[in-house]
Amino acid sequence: MNGFLFSSAMLPVAETLFAALQLPAYNTQVVLAGTFLLGVAAAVTGTFMLLRGQALAGDVVSHATLAGVVLAFMVAEMFQAGSGRSLAVLLTGAFLAGGAAIGLTTFILRTTRIRQDAAMAISLGVFYGLGISLLTVAEDFPTGNVAGLSHFLEGMTASLRLSDVQLIGSLSLLAIVLCGVLFKELRLLSFDRDFAATQGWPVGLLDLVLIGLIVLVAVVGLKAVGAVLVVALLIIPPAAARFWSDRLSRMILASAVIGGASAVCGTVISTMLPSLAAGAVIVLSGAVLFCLSLAFGTERGLVWQAVHHRRTTRRVDRQHLLRAVYEIIEQQPEPGEQGSRYGEGEKPDRPHPEPDIRHRPVNRAQLQNCRRWVPARLERSLKQSIREGMLEPVGADAWQLTEDGAVSAQRIVRNHRLWEMYLISQVDIPPSHVDRDADDVEHFLPPDVIESLSRQFAASSPGGQIPASPHLLPPAEQ
Protein backbone atom coordinates (compact mmCIF):
# COMPACT_ATOMS: atom_id res chain seq x y z
CA MET A 1 0.00 0.00 0.00
CA ASN A 2 2.77 2.41 0.96
CA GLY A 3 4.64 1.54 -2.22
CA PHE A 4 1.56 2.29 -4.30
CA LEU A 5 1.08 5.67 -2.61
CA PHE A 6 4.76 6.53 -3.13
CA SER A 7 4.55 5.57 -6.81
CA SER A 8 1.40 7.67 -7.24
CA ALA A 9 3.08 10.66 -5.63
CA MET A 10 6.23 10.36 -7.74
CA LEU A 11 4.38 9.93 -11.04
CA PRO A 12 3.71 13.67 -11.59
CA VAL A 13 7.35 14.45 -10.76
CA ALA A 14 8.55 11.88 -13.29
CA GLU A 15 6.19 13.25 -15.94
CA THR A 16 7.40 16.80 -15.30
CA LEU A 17 11.03 15.71 -15.49
CA PHE A 18 10.43 13.82 -18.74
CA ALA A 19 8.67 16.82 -20.23
CA ALA A 20 11.52 19.10 -19.20
CA LEU A 21 14.12 16.79 -20.70
CA GLN A 22 12.20 16.81 -23.99
CA LEU A 23 12.71 20.61 -24.13
CA PRO A 24 9.52 21.19 -26.13
CA ALA A 25 9.54 24.98 -25.71
CA TYR A 26 11.64 26.93 -28.16
CA ASN A 27 12.56 29.44 -25.47
CA THR A 28 13.89 26.63 -23.28
CA GLN A 29 16.09 25.39 -26.09
CA VAL A 30 17.44 28.88 -26.67
CA VAL A 31 18.13 29.47 -22.99
CA LEU A 32 19.78 26.06 -22.63
CA ALA A 33 22.14 26.74 -25.54
CA GLY A 34 23.13 30.11 -24.11
CA THR A 35 23.68 28.93 -20.55
CA PHE A 36 25.62 25.89 -21.74
CA LEU A 37 28.09 28.04 -23.69
CA LEU A 38 28.31 30.41 -20.73
CA GLY A 39 29.04 27.53 -18.33
CA VAL A 40 31.79 26.15 -20.56
CA ALA A 41 33.37 29.58 -21.16
CA ALA A 42 33.35 30.42 -17.45
CA ALA A 43 34.84 27.03 -16.57
CA VAL A 44 37.67 27.27 -19.11
CA THR A 45 38.54 30.87 -18.24
CA GLY A 46 38.19 30.18 -14.54
CA THR A 47 40.75 27.39 -14.76
CA PHE A 48 43.50 29.82 -15.73
CA MET A 49 42.19 32.34 -13.21
CA LEU A 50 42.34 29.79 -10.40
CA LEU A 51 45.81 28.53 -11.32
CA ARG A 52 47.05 32.11 -11.58
CA GLY A 53 45.81 32.74 -8.04
CA GLN A 54 43.33 35.41 -9.13
CA ALA A 55 40.10 33.94 -7.79
CA LEU A 56 39.38 37.17 -5.92
CA ALA A 57 39.71 39.11 -9.18
CA GLY A 58 36.59 37.38 -10.47
CA ASP A 59 34.73 38.40 -7.32
CA VAL A 60 35.82 42.03 -7.71
CA VAL A 61 34.81 42.14 -11.37
CA SER A 62 31.43 40.48 -10.84
CA HIS A 63 30.41 42.92 -8.10
CA ALA A 64 31.76 45.93 -9.99
CA THR A 65 29.69 45.19 -13.09
CA LEU A 66 26.47 46.29 -11.40
CA ALA A 67 27.71 49.89 -11.28
CA GLY A 68 28.58 49.73 -14.97
CA VAL A 69 25.18 48.32 -15.91
CA VAL A 70 23.24 51.00 -14.06
CA LEU A 71 25.50 53.82 -15.23
CA ALA A 72 25.25 52.65 -18.85
CA PHE A 73 21.46 52.58 -18.53
CA MET A 74 21.34 56.11 -17.13
CA VAL A 75 23.66 57.54 -19.80
CA ALA A 76 21.78 55.81 -22.62
CA GLU A 77 18.43 57.03 -21.31
CA MET A 78 19.74 60.59 -21.19
CA PHE A 79 20.54 60.50 -24.90
CA GLN A 80 17.54 58.49 -26.10
CA ALA A 81 14.63 57.22 -24.05
CA GLY A 82 14.32 53.44 -24.16
CA SER A 83 17.83 52.80 -25.48
CA GLY A 84 19.05 51.90 -22.00
CA ARG A 85 17.32 48.52 -22.18
CA SER A 86 19.68 47.28 -24.89
CA LEU A 87 21.68 44.33 -23.53
CA ALA A 88 24.69 45.29 -25.64
CA VAL A 89 24.73 48.76 -24.07
CA LEU A 90 24.37 47.39 -20.55
CA LEU A 91 27.09 44.77 -21.02
CA THR A 92 29.43 47.39 -22.45
CA GLY A 93 29.00 49.44 -19.31
CA ALA A 94 29.56 46.35 -17.18
CA PHE A 95 32.77 45.55 -19.07
CA LEU A 96 34.13 49.05 -18.55
CA ALA A 97 33.23 48.98 -14.85
CA GLY A 98 34.91 45.61 -14.38
CA GLY A 99 38.05 46.91 -16.04
CA ALA A 100 37.94 50.04 -13.89
CA ALA A 101 37.70 47.94 -10.72
CA ILE A 102 40.78 45.95 -11.72
CA GLY A 103 42.52 49.22 -12.61
CA LEU A 104 41.74 50.63 -9.17
CA THR A 105 43.10 47.48 -7.54
CA THR A 106 46.31 47.72 -9.56
CA PHE A 107 46.69 51.41 -8.71
CA ILE A 108 46.33 50.71 -4.98
CA LEU A 109 48.89 47.91 -5.14
CA ARG A 110 51.46 50.01 -6.98
CA THR A 111 51.12 53.17 -4.92
CA THR A 112 50.61 51.80 -1.41
CA ARG A 113 51.80 48.97 0.80
CA ILE A 114 48.33 47.47 1.07
CA ARG A 115 48.20 43.74 0.42
CA GLN A 116 46.48 42.35 -2.66
CA ASP A 117 43.48 40.86 -0.85
CA ALA A 118 42.86 44.14 0.97
CA ALA A 119 43.16 46.14 -2.26
CA MET A 120 40.65 43.85 -3.96
CA ALA A 121 38.28 44.14 -1.02
CA ILE A 122 38.45 47.93 -1.27
CA SER A 123 37.66 47.88 -5.00
CA LEU A 124 34.83 45.39 -4.50
CA GLY A 125 33.23 47.44 -1.74
CA VAL A 126 33.56 50.75 -3.56
CA PHE A 127 32.11 49.57 -6.88
CA TYR A 128 29.38 47.40 -5.40
CA GLY A 129 28.31 50.18 -3.08
CA LEU A 130 28.31 52.56 -6.05
CA GLY A 131 26.19 50.12 -8.03
CA ILE A 132 23.57 49.78 -5.30
CA SER A 133 23.43 53.56 -4.91
CA LEU A 134 23.06 54.13 -8.65
CA LEU A 135 20.38 51.45 -8.81
CA THR A 136 18.31 53.44 -6.33
CA VAL A 137 18.76 56.59 -8.40
CA ALA A 138 17.90 54.78 -11.64
CA GLU A 139 14.51 53.77 -10.27
CA ASP A 140 13.47 57.43 -10.48
CA PHE A 141 13.89 57.35 -14.26
CA PRO A 142 10.58 57.01 -16.14
CA THR A 143 11.68 53.65 -17.56
CA GLY A 144 13.79 52.64 -14.58
CA ASN A 145 11.31 50.20 -13.08
CA VAL A 146 10.64 48.38 -16.36
CA ALA A 147 14.26 48.12 -17.48
CA GLY A 148 14.82 45.02 -15.34
CA LEU A 149 18.02 46.36 -13.81
CA SER A 150 17.41 44.49 -10.56
CA HIS A 151 17.61 41.25 -12.54
CA PHE A 152 21.32 41.87 -12.96
CA LEU A 153 21.75 41.26 -9.24
CA GLU A 154 20.27 37.76 -9.17
CA GLY A 155 19.95 36.98 -12.86
CA MET A 156 16.84 36.17 -14.87
CA THR A 157 17.62 33.31 -17.21
CA ALA A 158 14.01 32.68 -18.15
CA SER A 159 13.66 36.21 -19.56
CA LEU A 160 16.48 35.78 -22.07
CA ARG A 161 15.42 36.49 -25.63
CA LEU A 162 16.93 35.07 -28.79
CA SER A 163 18.97 38.23 -29.36
CA ASP A 164 20.24 38.06 -25.76
CA VAL A 165 21.26 34.43 -26.13
CA GLN A 166 22.97 35.14 -29.45
CA LEU A 167 25.03 37.87 -27.80
CA ILE A 168 25.82 35.73 -24.74
CA GLY A 169 26.65 32.70 -26.90
CA SER A 170 28.87 34.71 -29.25
CA LEU A 171 30.86 36.31 -26.44
CA SER A 172 31.15 32.98 -24.60
CA LEU A 173 32.40 31.30 -27.76
CA LEU A 174 34.88 34.14 -28.23
CA ALA A 175 36.26 33.56 -24.72
CA ILE A 176 36.60 29.81 -25.38
CA VAL A 177 38.39 30.40 -28.70
CA LEU A 178 40.79 32.93 -27.16
CA CYS A 179 41.66 30.49 -24.37
CA GLY A 180 42.36 27.83 -26.99
CA VAL A 181 44.50 30.12 -29.16
CA LEU A 182 46.48 31.41 -26.17
CA PHE A 183 46.64 28.06 -24.38
CA LYS A 184 50.44 27.80 -24.40
CA GLU A 185 50.94 31.38 -23.24
CA LEU A 186 48.29 31.21 -20.52
CA ARG A 187 49.65 27.89 -19.30
CA LEU A 188 53.13 29.31 -18.83
CA LEU A 189 51.73 32.44 -17.20
CA SER A 190 49.66 30.36 -14.77
CA PHE A 191 52.48 28.11 -13.61
CA ASP A 192 55.67 30.18 -13.83
CA ARG A 193 55.27 33.88 -14.51
CA ASP A 194 58.88 34.68 -13.58
CA PHE A 195 60.26 32.13 -16.05
CA ALA A 196 58.01 33.54 -18.76
CA ALA A 197 59.37 37.01 -18.03
CA THR A 198 63.00 35.84 -18.23
CA GLN A 199 62.24 34.24 -21.60
CA GLY A 200 61.07 37.58 -22.95
CA TRP A 201 57.35 36.84 -22.93
CA PRO A 202 55.07 39.91 -22.59
CA VAL A 203 53.76 38.82 -19.19
CA GLY A 204 52.16 42.19 -18.53
CA LEU A 205 50.14 41.94 -21.73
CA LEU A 206 49.23 38.33 -20.97
CA ASP A 207 48.02 39.38 -17.52
CA LEU A 208 45.82 41.98 -19.16
CA VAL A 209 44.47 39.39 -21.60
CA LEU A 210 43.60 37.02 -18.76
CA ILE A 211 41.95 39.82 -16.79
CA GLY A 212 40.08 40.81 -19.94
CA LEU A 213 38.79 37.26 -20.34
CA ILE A 214 37.67 37.21 -16.71
CA VAL A 215 35.85 40.51 -17.16
CA LEU A 216 34.30 39.30 -20.42
CA VAL A 217 32.90 36.12 -18.89
CA ALA A 218 31.70 37.93 -15.77
CA VAL A 219 29.88 40.46 -17.93
CA VAL A 220 28.36 37.79 -20.17
CA GLY A 221 26.97 35.93 -17.18
CA LEU A 222 25.24 38.95 -15.65
CA LYS A 223 21.83 38.47 -17.28
CA ALA A 224 21.86 34.71 -16.76
CA VAL A 225 23.06 34.28 -13.16
CA GLY A 226 23.51 37.81 -11.82
CA ALA A 227 26.39 39.89 -10.51
CA VAL A 228 26.48 38.10 -7.17
CA LEU A 229 26.60 34.52 -8.45
CA VAL A 230 28.57 34.81 -11.69
CA VAL A 231 31.86 34.44 -9.80
CA ALA A 232 30.70 30.95 -8.76
CA LEU A 233 30.66 29.92 -12.43
CA LEU A 234 34.29 31.00 -12.66
CA ILE A 235 35.49 29.23 -9.52
CA ILE A 236 33.40 26.12 -8.82
CA PRO A 237 34.02 24.11 -12.04
CA PRO A 238 37.85 24.47 -12.07
CA ALA A 239 37.98 23.88 -8.31
CA ALA A 240 36.00 20.67 -8.83
CA ALA A 241 38.20 19.68 -11.77
CA ARG A 242 41.29 19.77 -9.54
CA PHE A 243 39.97 16.62 -7.85
CA TRP A 244 40.06 14.72 -11.16
CA SER A 245 43.43 15.54 -12.71
CA ASP A 246 46.71 17.43 -12.25
CA ARG A 247 47.33 17.79 -15.99
CA LEU A 248 46.16 21.13 -17.31
CA SER A 249 44.58 19.81 -20.51
CA ARG A 250 42.53 17.22 -18.64
CA MET A 251 41.69 19.71 -15.93
CA ILE A 252 40.32 22.16 -18.49
CA LEU A 253 38.28 19.40 -20.11
CA ALA A 254 36.88 18.27 -16.75
CA SER A 255 36.15 21.88 -15.81
CA ALA A 256 34.31 22.48 -19.09
CA VAL A 257 32.23 19.32 -18.60
CA ILE A 258 31.33 20.33 -15.04
CA GLY A 259 30.51 23.90 -16.09
CA GLY A 260 28.37 22.78 -19.01
CA ALA A 261 26.63 20.10 -16.94
CA SER A 262 25.86 22.64 -14.21
CA ALA A 263 24.24 24.94 -16.76
CA VAL A 264 22.18 22.14 -18.30
CA CYS A 265 21.04 20.76 -14.93
CA GLY A 266 20.14 24.21 -13.63
CA THR A 267 18.16 25.09 -16.74
CA VAL A 268 16.25 21.80 -16.75
CA ILE A 269 15.43 22.01 -13.04
CA SER A 270 14.24 25.61 -13.37
CA THR A 271 12.04 24.49 -16.26
CA MET A 272 10.45 21.89 -13.98
CA LEU A 273 10.14 24.38 -11.10
CA PRO A 274 9.55 27.84 -12.61
CA SER A 275 9.47 29.46 -9.18
CA LEU A 276 13.20 28.78 -8.76
CA ALA A 277 15.68 31.23 -10.28
CA ALA A 278 17.66 29.42 -12.95
CA GLY A 279 20.90 31.23 -12.13
CA ALA A 280 20.82 30.14 -8.52
CA VAL A 281 19.95 26.57 -9.50
CA ILE A 282 22.84 26.51 -11.99
CA VAL A 283 25.24 27.51 -9.22
CA LEU A 284 23.72 24.96 -6.83
CA SER A 285 24.07 22.27 -9.50
CA GLY A 286 27.73 23.20 -9.78
CA ALA A 287 28.03 22.98 -6.00
CA VAL A 288 26.57 19.46 -6.07
CA LEU A 289 29.07 18.44 -8.75
CA PHE A 290 31.83 19.99 -6.66
CA CYS A 291 30.78 17.90 -3.65
CA LEU A 292 30.73 14.76 -5.80
CA SER A 293 34.20 15.63 -7.11
CA LEU A 294 35.42 16.29 -3.58
CA ALA A 295 34.19 12.86 -2.54
CA PHE A 296 34.93 10.70 -5.59
CA GLY A 297 37.58 12.56 -7.64
CA THR A 298 40.27 10.17 -8.84
CA GLU A 299 43.13 12.56 -8.09
CA ARG A 300 42.33 14.18 -4.74
CA GLY A 301 38.86 12.92 -3.87
CA LEU A 302 38.34 12.03 -0.22
CA VAL A 303 37.13 8.51 -0.99
CA TRP A 304 40.02 7.85 -3.36
CA GLN A 305 42.50 9.26 -0.85
CA ALA A 306 41.04 7.04 1.87
CA VAL A 307 41.29 3.98 -0.39
CA HIS A 308 44.83 4.92 -1.44
CA HIS A 309 45.87 5.54 2.17
CA ARG A 310 44.39 2.20 3.20
CA ARG A 311 46.22 0.38 0.41
CA THR A 312 49.49 2.15 1.20
CA THR A 313 49.18 1.43 4.91
CA ARG A 314 48.55 -2.25 4.27
CA ARG A 315 51.42 -2.45 1.77
CA VAL A 316 53.78 -0.82 4.27
CA ASP A 317 52.57 -3.16 7.02
CA ARG A 318 53.15 -6.17 4.78
CA GLN A 319 56.69 -5.00 4.03
CA HIS A 320 57.34 -4.45 7.73
CA LEU A 321 56.03 -7.93 8.47
CA LEU A 322 58.28 -9.56 5.86
CA ARG A 323 61.27 -7.62 7.18
CA ALA A 324 60.42 -8.74 10.70
CA VAL A 325 60.30 -12.38 9.56
CA TYR A 326 63.70 -12.01 7.89
CA GLU A 327 65.31 -10.36 10.92
CA ILE A 328 63.90 -12.99 13.27
CA ILE A 329 65.35 -15.76 11.11
CA GLU A 330 68.60 -13.81 10.72
CA GLN A 331 69.21 -13.97 14.46
CA GLN A 332 68.47 -17.66 14.72
CA PRO A 333 71.27 -20.22 14.31
CA GLU A 334 71.46 -22.11 11.05
CA PRO A 335 70.39 -25.75 11.26
CA GLY A 336 73.26 -27.65 12.92
CA GLU A 337 74.71 -24.51 14.58
CA GLN A 338 74.63 -23.84 18.30
CA GLY A 339 73.47 -20.51 19.75
CA SER A 340 72.61 -17.31 17.95
CA ARG A 341 74.36 -16.14 14.80
CA TYR A 342 75.58 -13.14 16.84
CA GLY A 343 76.68 -12.90 20.43
CA GLU A 344 74.61 -10.91 22.89
CA GLY A 345 74.74 -7.24 21.95
CA GLU A 346 76.96 -8.03 18.94
CA LYS A 347 76.42 -6.04 15.77
CA PRO A 348 78.24 -7.26 12.61
CA ASP A 349 80.17 -4.54 10.81
CA ARG A 350 80.74 -6.40 7.55
CA PRO A 351 78.65 -8.47 5.14
CA HIS A 352 77.81 -11.94 6.35
CA PRO A 353 76.45 -15.00 4.60
CA GLU A 354 72.74 -14.54 4.07
CA PRO A 355 70.64 -16.99 6.07
CA ASP A 356 68.54 -19.66 4.46
CA ILE A 357 65.16 -18.10 5.13
CA ARG A 358 63.01 -20.75 3.44
CA HIS A 359 61.33 -23.37 5.61
CA ARG A 360 62.24 -21.46 8.79
CA PRO A 361 58.99 -20.90 10.71
CA VAL A 362 58.37 -17.95 13.01
CA ASN A 363 55.59 -17.77 15.57
CA ARG A 364 53.17 -15.08 16.67
CA ALA A 365 55.07 -14.23 19.86
CA GLN A 366 58.27 -13.53 17.90
CA LEU A 367 56.45 -11.29 15.44
CA GLN A 368 54.60 -9.47 18.20
CA ASN A 369 57.85 -8.84 20.07
CA CYS A 370 59.59 -7.61 16.92
CA ARG A 371 56.90 -5.23 15.61
CA ARG A 372 55.07 -4.23 18.81
CA TRP A 373 51.77 -4.10 16.95
CA VAL A 374 48.33 -4.51 18.44
CA PRO A 375 47.04 -8.06 17.80
CA ALA A 376 44.39 -6.92 15.29
CA ARG A 377 46.98 -5.16 13.11
CA LEU A 378 49.31 -8.15 13.19
CA GLU A 379 46.46 -10.51 12.33
CA ARG A 380 45.39 -8.32 9.40
CA SER A 381 48.93 -8.18 8.00
CA LEU A 382 49.34 -11.94 8.39
CA LYS A 383 46.11 -12.63 6.51
CA GLN A 384 47.05 -10.19 3.77
CA SER A 385 50.51 -11.74 3.35
CA ILE A 386 48.97 -15.21 3.14
CA ARG A 387 46.45 -14.04 0.51
CA GLU A 388 49.24 -12.50 -1.56
CA GLY A 389 51.31 -15.67 -1.38
CA MET A 390 54.12 -14.24 0.76
CA LEU A 391 53.57 -16.41 3.83
CA GLU A 392 52.15 -19.85 4.42
CA PRO A 393 50.91 -21.27 7.72
CA VAL A 394 52.97 -23.96 9.44
CA GLY A 395 51.12 -25.55 12.31
CA ALA A 396 48.64 -23.80 14.56
CA ASP A 397 50.35 -20.47 15.21
CA ALA A 398 53.44 -20.26 13.00
CA TRP A 399 54.24 -19.18 9.46
CA GLN A 400 57.08 -19.45 6.97
CA LEU A 401 58.07 -17.53 3.87
CA THR A 402 57.05 -18.80 0.46
CA GLU A 403 59.48 -18.58 -2.45
CA ASP A 404 58.00 -15.24 -3.54
CA GLY A 405 57.92 -14.07 0.06
CA ALA A 406 61.60 -14.89 0.54
CA VAL A 407 62.56 -12.86 -2.55
CA SER A 408 60.44 -9.92 -1.40
CA ALA A 409 61.78 -10.07 2.16
CA GLN A 410 65.40 -10.02 0.96
CA ARG A 411 64.73 -7.07 -1.34
CA ILE A 412 62.90 -5.14 1.39
CA VAL A 413 65.63 -5.73 3.99
CA ARG A 414 68.39 -4.80 1.54
CA ASN A 415 66.70 -1.53 0.55
CA HIS A 416 66.00 -0.71 4.19
CA ARG A 417 69.60 -1.19 5.26
CA LEU A 418 71.05 0.68 2.30
CA TRP A 419 68.86 3.63 3.23
CA GLU A 420 69.88 3.33 6.88
CA MET A 421 73.55 3.44 5.87
CA TYR A 422 72.88 6.54 3.79
CA LEU A 423 71.14 8.31 6.68
CA ILE A 424 73.98 7.44 9.06
CA SER A 425 76.80 8.49 6.73
CA GLN A 426 75.25 11.48 4.96
CA VAL A 427 72.58 12.87 7.30
CA ASP A 428 74.44 12.07 10.52
CA ILE A 429 71.54 10.26 12.18
CA PRO A 430 72.69 8.09 15.11
CA PRO A 431 72.43 4.33 14.49
CA SER A 432 70.14 4.01 17.49
CA HIS A 433 67.55 6.26 15.80
CA VAL A 434 68.04 5.41 12.15
CA ASP A 435 65.60 2.50 12.03
CA ARG A 436 62.65 4.74 12.85
CA ASP A 437 63.72 7.48 10.40
CA ALA A 438 64.31 4.98 7.60
CA ASP A 439 60.79 3.60 8.00
CA ASP A 440 59.28 6.90 6.85
CA VAL A 441 60.90 6.85 3.40
CA GLU A 442 62.17 3.40 2.49
CA HIS A 443 58.84 2.16 1.09
CA PHE A 444 58.74 4.90 -1.54
CA LEU A 445 62.33 4.85 -2.86
CA PRO A 446 62.40 4.76 -6.69
CA PRO A 447 64.60 2.17 -8.47
CA ASP A 448 67.18 4.74 -9.59
CA VAL A 449 67.77 5.80 -5.96
CA ILE A 450 68.21 2.17 -4.92
CA GLU A 451 70.71 1.68 -7.74
CA SER A 452 72.63 4.78 -6.64
CA LEU A 453 72.73 3.55 -3.04
CA SER A 454 73.96 0.15 -4.20
CA ARG A 455 76.90 1.77 -5.99
CA GLN A 456 77.63 4.09 -3.08
CA PHE A 457 77.77 1.26 -0.53
CA ALA A 458 79.11 -1.47 -2.79
CA ALA A 459 81.75 -2.40 -0.20
CA SER A 460 79.05 -3.25 2.33
CA SER A 461 76.88 -5.02 -0.24
CA PRO A 462 79.17 -6.87 -2.67
CA GLY A 463 77.35 -8.70 -5.41
CA GLY A 464 74.00 -7.41 -4.21
CA GLN A 465 74.33 -9.04 -0.80
CA ILE A 466 72.20 -7.79 2.06
CA PRO A 467 74.30 -5.51 4.28
CA ALA A 468 74.48 -6.21 7.97
CA SER A 469 72.16 -4.16 10.13
CA PRO A 470 73.94 -0.97 11.31
CA HIS A 471 72.11 -1.18 14.64
CA LEU A 472 71.06 -3.83 17.11
CA LEU A 473 68.00 -5.79 16.08
CA PRO A 474 65.15 -6.39 18.52
CA PRO A 475 65.66 -9.77 20.21
CA ALA A 476 63.71 -12.61 18.62
CA GLU A 477 62.13 -14.36 21.56
CA GLN A 478 61.15 -17.96 21.08
Nearest to 317 by CA among 403, 362, 379, 271: 379
Greatest mean pLDDT among 24-28, 363-367, 426-430 lies in 363-367
* Lowest mean pLDDT segment, chosen from 81-90, 314-323, 390-399: 81-90
Task: Establish if 266 belongs to a structural domain.
Answer: yes
Q: Are residues 28 and 52 in the same domain?
A: yes
Q: Are residues 123 and 162 in the same domain?
A: yes
Structure confidence at residue 343 as a pLDDT band (50, 70, 90) = very low
pLDDT in the model for residue 161: 77
Task: Establish if 459 belongs to a structural domain.
Answer: yes
Nearest to 160 by CA among 287, 24, 279: 279
Is 259's pLDDT higher than 90?
yes
Mean pLDDT of 457-476: 73
- Three-state SS for 398? strand
Mean pLDDT of the chain: 81
Is 341's pLDDT higher than 60?
no
Distance of CA 123 to the CA centre of its chain: 29
Nearest to 123 by CA among 136, 149, 106, 104: 104
Task: Establish if 345 belongs to a structural domain.
Answer: no
Distance of CA 256 to the CA centre of its chain: 15
- Three-state SS for 233? helix
Mean pLDDT of 301-318: 90
- Three-state SS for 441? coil
Q: Are residues 378 and 452 in the same domain?
A: yes
Greatest mean pLDDT among 147-151, 179-183, 343-347 lies in 179-183
Q: Are residues 165 and 106 in the same domain?
A: yes
pLDDT in the model for residue 354: 58
Strands ordered across the beta sheet of 391-393: 362-363, 398-401, 391-393
More confident site: 250 or 21: 250
Give me the number of domains the chain comprises: 2
pLDDT in the model for residue 415: 85
Q: Are residues 99 and 232 in the same domain?
A: yes
pLDDT in the model for residue 83: 66
pLDDT one-digit tens code per residue, 166-224: 888 888 999 999 999 999 989 988 888 888 888 888 888 888 888 889 888 888 888 78
CATH number, residue 233: 1.10.3470.10
Q: Which domain holds residue 186?
A: 24-294
Task: Establish if 15 belongs to a structural domain.
Answer: no
Is 80's pLDDT higher than 70?
yes
Is 342's pLDDT higher than 60?
no
Mean pLDDT of 383-390: 91
Task: Establish if 248 belongs to a structural domain.
Answer: yes
d(CA 327, CA 476): 8
Structure confidence at residue 82 as a pLDDT band (50, 70, 90) = low
What is the model's pTM? Answer: 0.76
Nearest to 419 by CA among 427, 350, 345, 475: 427
